[in-house]
Amino acid sequence: DAGVTQSPTHLIKTRGQQVTLRCSPKSGHDTVSWYQQALGQGPQFIFQYYEEEERQRGNFPDRFSGHQFPNYSSELNVNALLLGDSALYLCASSSGQGYTDTQYFGPGTRLTVL
Amino acid sequence: GEDVEQSLFLSVREGDSSVINCTYTDSSSTYLYWYKQEPGAGLQLLTYIFSNMDMKQDQRLTVLLNKKDKHLSLRIADTQTGDSAIYFCAEKGPGGYNKLIFGAGTRLAVHP
């Protein structure tokens, strides 16, 4: 049973560029959440997708957007990259309607903005 | 507000017990979690506790919850070098869904 997978593993971009990160949830899961983890800090919630819609969002600007596909996989898009967007981006999946279920994390995508 | 606090560093001798502490702010939190992160890796769920419980034991792990003081702890018995990692406490945030609010993490160093 495959766990949560993310691609790519590492990514290097320059300021002003756009980036797309991808996530496939654990088998049987239908909810995907994205988190940003800056160096030396805990993960910060970006947003959560369920039934192909964003249903909760953290304190992140509109430059951060996402999408969920019918097969429950998800993308995170970041436009107009800033140096401060350099971080580990973690995807987590869960099942059910999302209130009581537990989130399982992928290995993350390390984004470096130069 | 939403805030989870942890001490940043803990050093223990191999074979001893480790206790990692956490305080949280949202008294309505229904679930509290402990995750482990090894270098360069994602987060591994270790255990969780429901807010109507005071204690949960899972093999070498014991979680204690003091709701009055909003204090959560993770005890690792017989700590091994493989337990060296960063441990994150997280609470379920407000809003009706399972958004997680994490602390900054406690780095556990296990030495011989």
Low-confidence spans in chain A with pLDDT less than 50: none
pLDDT at position B96 is: 66
Using the Cβ of A24 and the Cβ atoms of chain B, whether some distance falls under 8 Å is answered with no
* Contact call for A42 and B97, based on CB within 8 A: no
Reported as half-sphere exposure (CB side, CA atoms, 13 A), residue B86 has a value of 21
Contact B58, B48 (CB under 8 A): no
Q: Which residues of B touch A42 (CB under 8 A)?
A: 4, 88, 90, 102-105
pLDDT at position B49 is: 92
pLDDT at B99 over 90: no
pLDDT one-digit tens code per residue, B69-78: 999 999 999 9
DSSP letter assigned to residue B93: P
Using the Cβ of A98 and the Cβ atoms of chain B, whether some distance falls under 8 Å is answered with yes
CB count within 10 Å of CB A75 equals 17
* Contact call for B45 and A103, based on CB within 8 A: yes
Cα B10 to Cα A97: distance, rounded to the nearest angstrom: 37
Using the CB atoms, write b or e for B81-92: b if 16+ within 10 Å: eebbbbbbbbbb
More confident residue, B66 or B27: B66
Hey, what are A47's tokens?
């947003």
The residue-averaged pLDDT of B99-107 equals: 94
* Contact call for A56 and B95, based on CB within 8 A: yes
The residue-averaged pLDDT of B73-84 equals: 97
Query: How far A64 CA lies from chain B's nearest CA (Å)?
Result: 17
Rounded to 5°, angle at Cα A113 from A55 and A50: 15
More confident residue, B95 or B11: B11
pLDDT at position B40 is: 83
Partner residue facing B45 (CB), from A48, A58, A102: A102
User: Mean pLDDT lowest for which of A94-108, B19-33, B61-75?
Assistant: A94-108
pLDDT at position A11 is: 96
Residue B102's closest chain A neighbor by CA? A42
Cα A94 to Cα B31: distance, rounded to the nearest angstrom: 14
